[in-house]
Amino acid sequence: MNGVPYPLLSPGLAALPADMLRRMILGREISVPELVADALAAIGRLDGRLNAFIATCPERAMAEARTAQARLMAGAAAPPLCGLPLAVKDAEPVAGLPYTCGSLVYRDRMADADSVHVARLRAAGAIVVGKTNTPEFTLLGETRNRLGPDTCNPWNTALTAGGSSGGSAAALAAGMVPLATGSDTAGSITVPAAFCGILGLKPGHRRIPLWPGPGDWAPYSDVGPMARTATGLAMMFAAAAGPDPRDPLSLFPVVSRPETGSLRISWGRTVAGLPVETDCAAAAEGAAALFAAAGHRVDQAAPAVADPGAVHDLLGAVEEYRARGALLERDAALLAAETRAILELGRGIGPGALAAARAAADEVAARFRAFMATRDLLILPATASPAFPLRHPPERIAGQPVRPDWPSYAPFNMLGNLSGLPVATLPVRLTDGGLPVGALLFANPGQEALLLSALAQAETLRGPLAPPLLTSAR
């Protein structure tokens, strides 16, 4: 199983890589109903400890599985994601399933249409088995809300899975599904992927259309694939990418770069002097070493940009208030305290402060894009710390005091959102405590194909990691 992030202790079918499962289905080694039933059984066994899912749809999923199998048996061509179980983050709609966005405000809402992203994955043959947990309106770096228990990390259930796509990351890491979706405005795909030891891609801005949606964080919001292998990411991205007239920001072509052999790759332990734990910095260095060993041109260099955290926090609050400020008057009692605080922050920001923040963000983005223009990839630590105890983000990182907030433990992820460039998480190594740490790989506009190819090469060179233990801290 070359390229598998780690061998599970007791692997079921749904824990196998997506491309392997597709070959097994086409080779009649397994049936689609058998695979979907296995995924649903894995959710039933494990999710009571992980809280990765907010809802499942077993009857519907099995009906779709039987239909898919009947078509195959009748000789129909197999679609790219034929019969693969898919988990969808509860920040985008799936027709007929809950669409809560992690909020009590929408606890009874059911979606009446699929998002473009989901519709394309389903058209490619994926079968939705359920919706995964997310913090309220995707606003936290942990996956917790007032609807139910926190999502836990499969490597240690006393730890966070990260956020805001933590439900999807946990479901993948535990082997409940081979494919899942995420959304990302500041690292919501890449952070939980790092904490849970799986792969996630935040594509270039709107390479996958975002519709329908409330329009919040429009300059920075994207949806993208999460999977156990780089091949799984590539399969999902190929099925979902391309413009759609309902999302005006998506109206540009996807560009591919021809393979030219040796890549120009830079790597850094940090940016803007921000603190990073040794294990996390070592993950970036380890990823760079993999590419150097493969013959690529690798040097140590990082962009000279200011810390983007505070600026992105402020701009996000403005976007959030623009989209959902009315909830402060209408449903304040139903909102989490953190959501109310973000909305209040957005309401209180004046035009002068907003203009200054936008100028600062534009400067960071311009400098970052200029740095990237002279190289193919940039490697940075995926997070500044490994996964931390539930509801206890670090107050110190690498010995330095920090705010216990997402810009401290995920300081570089948002560079992909501010710049609009594609970025992915690659699991690289384990800490001495047995937790996964990873690297961010940034690429230039339209270079998702190159990025996915590089991920696959590094994954092969890295070899397998140890399995998640599904243990609780003692």
Residues identified as active-site: 89, 164, 188
Stated as kind and residue range, the H or E segment containing 328 is helix 327-330
Coil, strand, or helix at residue 121?
helix
The distance of Cα 405 from the centroid of its chain, to the nearest Å, equals 18
DSSP-assigned letters across all residues of 302-327: -------HHHHHHHHHHHHHHHHTTH
Query: What is the C-alpha separation between 80 and 76, in angstroms, rounded?
Result: 13
Are the C-beta atoms of 281 and 267 separated by less than 8 Å?
A: no
**Which residues, at least 6 apart from 345, have a Cβ–Cβ distance to it below 8 Å?**
314, 317, 321
Which tokens sit at 321?
A: 């208030």
Are the C-beta atoms of 425 and 439 separated by less than 8 Å?
A: yes
**Which residues, at least 6 apart from 364, have a Cβ–Cβ distance to it below 8 Å?**
305, 306, 308, 311, 415, 418, 419
Which tokens sit at 329?
A: 């008057």
Query: What is the C-alpha separation between 43 and 422, in angstroms, rounded?
Result: 31
Are the C-beta atoms of 239 and 453 separated by less than 8 Å?
A: no
Residue with tokens 């970025």: 423
Query: What is the C-alpha separation between 207 and 243, in angstroms, rounded?
Result: 7
Coil, strand, or helix at residue 221?
coil
Q: Where are the alpha helices (DSSP H) in 189-257?
A: 190-196, 230-240
Are the C-beta atoms of 68 and 124 separated by less than 8 Å?
A: no
Instruction: Tell me the sheet residues that pair with 125.
Output: none
